[in-house]
């Protein structure tokens, strides 16, 4: 039985083929227009608030990327500083040719005695890690950055340690290359002193000039124009950043480099922490006070407050971190160590007193039962 021509009117006409209809219904089919089948009378589902936010966010990101491509596109091709001509990207053949290794005259694997290290040039035994055609000290394998090489060279040639930031400054004054990058270096020759290819005199002069280099690079502690750190209250620091915090009067409140690093590590840039409510920032600030990140699930002390929450109207700051907190509550101070030791002794005394009270209660109960004290 074919019921399609008798479909209710709210479904609308349904197109059918003429040859499939009975003879009695072919005339009626000729009068109907060929249209598509509409949906039943059902209200379309509206867009939710979350869907609209996602759509608008995608459209905004799309517009931002499109405008960035438009504004950042250079008007003219970049100029190669070496030739003074417009820069031309290298072809694949040129890239592969530039990546080809040097033609070494020998191989460290063929030598049964000591050979130079590929990084420092010092003597490497047969048990050292081998990467054709060089041997490399195990300690030198991790020195892939220029800062690591400078630190190793200073420790070997001058006899003391320096930090990574200082090593980066020294690298701008002295060339500390890998031994294998030297023009006359070969993997099978006699080894030299470790980092002997580095100019020791220039290295010493660069180390002596570190205070001036730090000052030029802005690595010496200095004040911020917006005031002390909003978290730790220190006046002189490096790496000052305006993350959007405010003082009580609404003026910008900066963060020092140490607090800013904790802010970024705890998701401040991604919006996980509020810039307005300091309650969300107490956890990262408490980590700065302790000097380490607390385990997951541990929060700050309920009485802990950031400097911006308790600072006076002029927010003068302090010469040391968290100077507004009493010394016994600040880790690293003698008063804090004394307080910890005193609290530990008091806790042990309470434990001993509790054990003594329990033993006394057992003796009293034993006397009540009539068989005296028990061991």
List, as one string, the DSSP characters of 207-254.
HHTHHHHHHHHT-S-B--TT-S-TTT-BSSBSS-EEEEEE-TTS-EEE
Domain extents in the chain: 108-217, 241-325, 332-368
Q: What is the mean pLDDT of the chain?
A: 80
- Answer left, alpha or beta for residue 322, where phi above 0 means left and psi between -120 and 50 means alpha: left
Query: pLDDT of 102-133, one tens digit each?
Result: 678 889 989 999 999 999 999 999 899 998 88
CA distances in angstroms from 229 to 262, 317, 318, listed in the order given:
13, 8, 9
Find the length of the chain: 375
Cis previous bond, 143, omega within 30: no
Q: Which residues does 153 contact at the CB level (< 8 Å), separation at least 6? A: 120, 176, 195, 198, 203
Query: What's residue 67's pLDDT?
Result: 62
**Structure tokens that stand for 13 in this block:** 């006409």
List, as one string, the DSSP characters of 306-326.
-HHHH--TT---BSSTTTTS-
| DSSP β-bridge partners for residue 130 | 135
Give CA–CA dist 78/87, Å, rounded. Answer: 6
**Structure tokens that stand for 206 in this block:** 């660069």
Residue 72: φ, ψ to 5°: -90, -5
Give CA–CA dist 358/341, Å, rounded. Answer: 26
Q: Which residue has the higher pLDDT, 34 or 153?
A: 153
Average of per-residue pLDDT across 318-338: 89
Query: pLDDT of 213-267, one tens digit each?
Result: 888 877 888 899 889 999 999 999 988 888 888 888 888 899 998 898 888 888 7
**Structure tokens that stand for 277 in this block:** 């409510």
Query: What band does 74 get if pLDDT is binned at 50, 70 and 90?
Result: very low
Query: What's residue 330's pLDDT?
Result: 87
Query: What band does 359 get if pLDDT is binned at 50, 70 and 90?
Result: very high
Query: What's residue 33's pLDDT?
Result: 47
Most confident of 51-60, 135-144, 182-191, 340-349: 340-349
Query: What's residue 163's pLDDT?
Result: 85
Distance of CA 162 to the CA centre of its chain: 23
| 101 has a pLDDT exceeding 70 | no
| 21 has a pLDDT exceeding 70 | no
Please report which helix (H) or strand (E) contains residue 134, including its range: strand 134-135
| 70 has a pLDDT exceeding 50 | no
Q: Which residues does 134 contact at the CB level (< 8 Å), separation at least 6? A: 108, 115, 117, 118, 180, 187
CA distances in angstroms from 226 to 235, 319, 356, listed in the order given:
10, 16, 59
| DSSP β-bridge partners for residue 234 | 318
| 190 has a pLDDT exceeding 60 | yes
Query: What band does 197 get if pLDDT is binned at 50, 70 and 90?
Result: very high
| 339 has a pLDDT exceeding 50 | yes
Q: What is the dihedral of CA 291, 297, 303, 304, to 10 degrees?
A: 30
Query: What's residue 75's pLDDT?
Result: 47
Candidates 141, 144, 210; CA nearest to 172 is 210
| 156 has a pLDDT exceeding 70 | yes
Q: Which residue has the higher pLDDT, 272 or 148?
A: 148
**Structure tokens that stand for 108 in this block:** 């460290």
């Amino acid at each position: 039985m074919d019921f399609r021509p008798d479909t209710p009117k709210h479904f609308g006409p349904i197109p059918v083929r003429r040859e499939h209809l009975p003879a009695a219904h072919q005339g009626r089919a000729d009068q109907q227009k060929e249209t598509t089948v509409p949906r039943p009378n059902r209200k379309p589902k509206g867009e939710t608030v979350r869907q609209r936010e996602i759509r608008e966010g995608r459209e905004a990101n799309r517009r931002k990327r499109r405008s960035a491509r438009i504004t950042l596109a250079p008007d003219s091709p970049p100029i190669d500083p070496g030739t003074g001509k417009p820069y031309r990207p290298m072809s694949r053949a040129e890239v592969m040719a530039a990546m080809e290794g040097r033609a070494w005259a020998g191989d460290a694997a063929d030598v049964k005695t000591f050979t130079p290290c590929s990084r420092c040039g010092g003597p490497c035994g047969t048990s050292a890690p081998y990467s054709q055609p060089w041997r490399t000290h195990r300690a030198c394998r991790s020195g892939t950055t220029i800062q690591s090489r400078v630190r190793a060279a200073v420790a070997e040639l001058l006899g003391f340690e320096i930090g990574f930031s200082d090593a980066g400054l020294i690298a701008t004054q002295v060339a500390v290359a890998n031994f294998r990058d030297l023009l006359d270096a070969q993997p099978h020759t006699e080894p030299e002193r470790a980092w002997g290819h580095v100019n020791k005199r220039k290295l010493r002069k660069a180390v002596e000039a570190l205070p001036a280099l730090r000052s030029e690079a802005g690595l010496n502690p200095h004040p911020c124009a917006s005031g002390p750190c909003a978290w730790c209250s220190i006046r002189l620091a490096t790496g000052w950043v305006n993350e959007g915090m405010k003082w009580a009067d609404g003026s910008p409140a900066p963060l020092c480099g140490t607090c800013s690093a904790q802010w970024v590590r705890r998701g401040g840039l991604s919006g996980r922490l509020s810039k307005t409510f300091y309650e969300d920032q107490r956890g990262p600030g408490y980590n700065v006070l302790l000097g380490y990140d607390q385990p997951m699930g541990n929060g700050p002390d309920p009485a802990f407050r950031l400097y911006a929450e308790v600072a006076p109207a002029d927010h003068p700051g302090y010469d040391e971190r968290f100077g507004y907190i009493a010394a016994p509550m600040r880790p690293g101070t003698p008063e804090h160590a004394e307080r910890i030791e005193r609290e530990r002794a008091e806790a042990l005394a309470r434990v001993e007193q509790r054990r003594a009270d329990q033993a006394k209660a057992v003796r009293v109960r034993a006397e009540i039962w009539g068989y005296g004290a028990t061991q």
